[in-house]
């Protein structure tokens, strides 16, 4: 009789469902015998512009150093982030994507008997990292698809160690403003770590959303996480960062792997942060694509959740799974979000104008079939 290694796993891990990513282009191409060039993927909130040429140039220059370990302290990137964000270098922890940051914070602060609070329909990684540790995840019912910050405050008890906030949230695109954040931070117990996930902040800066960094000075229990995967267009490289009090950053730096960010990611992120033109262009393409989607959804008689991210959740008013499958047959990959409690929605990333049009034409065709 061989050993049951699932039964041997920690109880929280046994009940975990793996994160379901967007379907890769090559996988669909294999399945349908399609030319990958003809497939449109709007499923993972990736930047449709491709990486900044400055980033690819920096990577090319770094290739000769691949035999060496990366700088485990990420000094240059941290220095860039510090000067850009107006913080000290010892307030920063780098992550293998901001996903890594979320995992580090859970590992450092959660355990069985403790809990983390997050919203219904919030980013799937919050429940995932919480459960993997064996802690309790408290999903607080949303209002109008967004975070109910008052209800989240009420869900906090003496065993709560972390509250995860996403602003804007993925997959809903919902957001809260500066006053709501200020009131929340004022009311939250000071021993509860508030993880403010700003993965899409570059798309929404100065546009009704608070800049989480400006609350750090008054709230030593706040941690802001950001990423190079979305507006900076470097999802494949896996690099993100957390900014917090020196103490929290120190804790994260103790639990992370010694070389959790590779050298290509370090150099690319560094130059990406300086490429203001690329960032401006990314935001412009996103704003235009968002308008294109909203206009077309209206014409199709569909409702949607207003979004401040680089994606939009559209309500088909019918089970979305068959429509998702039919879109795949048309060579268009979007994201079903039934796993987020949104079975009639699809989440669609904003692509180039042409990609958006391909999706919209395929959607109209599929819906017309009834």
Ligand X SMILES: *Cc1c(COP(=O)(O)O)cnc(C)c1O
Using CB under 6 A as the binding rule, whether residue 51 contacts ligand X is answered as: no
Give the shortest CB-200-to-ligand X separation in angstroms: 7
Which of the ranges 97-105, 265-273, 284-292, 355-363 carries the binding residues for ligand X, by CB under 6 A?
97-105
* Residue 47 or 160 with smaller CB distance to ligand X: 47
Give the shortest CB-77-to-ligand X separation in angstroms: 14
* Residue 44 or 292 with smaller CB distance to ligand X: 44
Closest CA to 98 of 197, 190, 11: 197
Using CB under 6 A as the binding rule, whether residue 350 contacts ligand X is answered as: no
Which of the ranges 10-18, 57-65, 95-103, 348-356 carries the binding residues for ligand X, by CB under 6 A?
95-103
Residue 235 three-state SS = helix
Alpha-carbon separation of residue 145 from 34, 121, 228 (angstroms): 36, 7, 26
Measured between alpha carbons, how far is 149 from 165 in angstroms, rounded to an integer?
A: 9
**Residue 95 contacts residue 241 (beta carbons within 8 Å):** yes
Measured between alpha carbons, how far is 210 from 351 in angstroms, rounded to an integer?
A: 26
Q: What is the 3-state secondary structure (H, E, C) of 19-88?
A: CCCCCCHHHHHHHHCCCHHHCEECCCCCCCCCCCHHHHHHHHHHHHHCCCCCCCCCHHHHHHHHHHHCCC
- Binding residue for ligand X (CB under 6 A) from 221, 229, 253, 260? 229
Closest CA to 168 of 124, 201, 202, 213: 201
* Residue 130 or 170 with smaller CB distance to ligand X: 170
- Binding residue for ligand X (CB under 6 A) from 123, 232, 278, 324? 123
Using CB under 6 A as the binding rule, whether residue 97 contacts ligand X is answered as: yes
Measured between alpha carbons, how far is 200 from 169 in angstroms, rounded to an integer?
A: 8
Give the shortest CB-175-to-ligand X separation in angstroms: 12
Residue nearest to ligand X (CB): 97
**Residue 74 contacts residue 205 (beta carbons within 8 Å):** no
DSSP per position, 273-318: HH-HHHHHHHHHHHHHHHHHHHHHHHHTT-EEE--SSSEEEEE-SS
Measured between alpha carbons, how far is 201 from 210 in angstroms, rounded to an integer?
A: 9
* Residue 91 or 167 with smaller CB distance to ligand X: 167
Using CB under 6 A as the binding rule, whether residue 260 contacts ligand X is answered as: no
Closest CA to 268 of 84, 77, 68: 77
Which of the ranges 30-38, 52-60, 96-104, 361-369 carries the binding residues for ligand X, by CB under 6 A?
96-104
* Residue 98 or 115 with smaller CB distance to ligand X: 98
Using CB under 6 A as the binding rule, whether residue 166 contacts ligand X is answered as: yes
Measured between alpha carbons, how far is 68 from 265 in angstroms, rounded to an integer?
A: 14
Dmax over CA atoms of the chain, in Å, equals 62
Give the shortest CB-328-to-ligand X separation in angstroms: 22
* Residue 194 or 366 with smaller CB distance to ligand X: 194
Using CB under 6 A as the binding rule, whether residue 199 contacts ligand X is answered as: yes
- Binding residue for ligand X (CB under 6 A) from 114, 235, 338, 367? 235
Give the shortest CB-232-to-ligand X separation in angstroms: 10
Give the shortest CB-229-to-ligand X separation in angstroms: 3
* Residue 201 or 249 with smaller CB distance to ligand X: 201
Give the shortest CB-147-to-ligand X separation in angstroms: 12
Which of the ranges 93-101, 131-139, 187-195, 281-289 carries the binding residues for ligand X, by CB under 6 A?
93-101
Measured between alpha carbons, how far is 262 from 116 in angstroms, rounded to an integer?
A: 30
* Residue 115 or 307 with smaller CB distance to ligand X: 307
Give the shortest CB-171-to-ligand X separation in angstroms: 8
Enumerate binding residues for ligand X (CB under 6 A). 45, 97-99, 123, 166, 170, 197, 199, 227, 229, 235, 240
């Amino acid at each position: 009789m061989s050993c049951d290694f699932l039964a041997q796993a920690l109880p929280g891990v046994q009940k975990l469902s793996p994160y379901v990513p967007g379907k890769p282009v090559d996988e669909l191409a294999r399945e349908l015998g399609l030319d990958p060039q003809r497939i449109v993927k709007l499923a993972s909130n990736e930047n449709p512009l491709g990486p900044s040429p400055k980033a690819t140039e920096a990577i090319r220059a770094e290739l000769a150093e691949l035999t060496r370990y990366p700088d485990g302290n990420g000094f240059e990137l941290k220095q860039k982030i510090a000067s850009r964000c107006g913080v000290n270098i010892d307030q920063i922890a780098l992550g293998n994507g901001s996903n890594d940051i979320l995992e580090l914070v859970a590992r450092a602060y959660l355990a069985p008997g403790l809990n983390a609070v997050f919203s219904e329909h919030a980013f799937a990684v919050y429940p995932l990292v919480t459960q993997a540790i064996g802690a309790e995840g408290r999903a607080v019912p949303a209002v109008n698809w967004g975070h109910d910050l008052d209800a989240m405050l009420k869900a906090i008890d003496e065993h709560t160690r972390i509250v995860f906030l996403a602003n804007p949230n993925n997959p809903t695109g919902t957001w809260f403003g500066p006053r709501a954040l200020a009131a929340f931070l004022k009311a939250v117990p000071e021993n509860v770590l508030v993880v403010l996930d700003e993965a899409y902040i570059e798309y929404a800066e100065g546009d009704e959303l608070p800049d989480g960094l400006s609350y750090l000075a008054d709230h030593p229990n706040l941690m802001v996480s950001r990423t190079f995967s979305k507006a900076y267009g470097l999802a494949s490289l896996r690099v993100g960062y957390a900014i917090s009090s020196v103490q929290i950053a120190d804790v994260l730096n103790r639990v992370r792997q010694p070389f959790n960010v590779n050298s290509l990611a370090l150099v690319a992120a560094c130059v990406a942060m300086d490429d203001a033109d690329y960032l401006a262009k990314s935001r412009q393409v996103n704003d235009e694509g968002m308008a294109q989607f909203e206009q077309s959804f209206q014409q199709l008689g569909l409702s949607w959740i207003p979004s401040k991210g680089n994606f939009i959740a559209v309500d088909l008013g019918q089970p979305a799974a068959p429509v998702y499958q039919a879109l795949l047959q048309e060579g268009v990959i979007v994201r079903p979000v039934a796993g987020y409690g949104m079975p009639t929605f699809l989440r669609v990333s904003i692509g180039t104008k042409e990609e958006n049009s391909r999706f919209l034409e395929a959607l109209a065709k599929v819906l017309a079939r009834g």
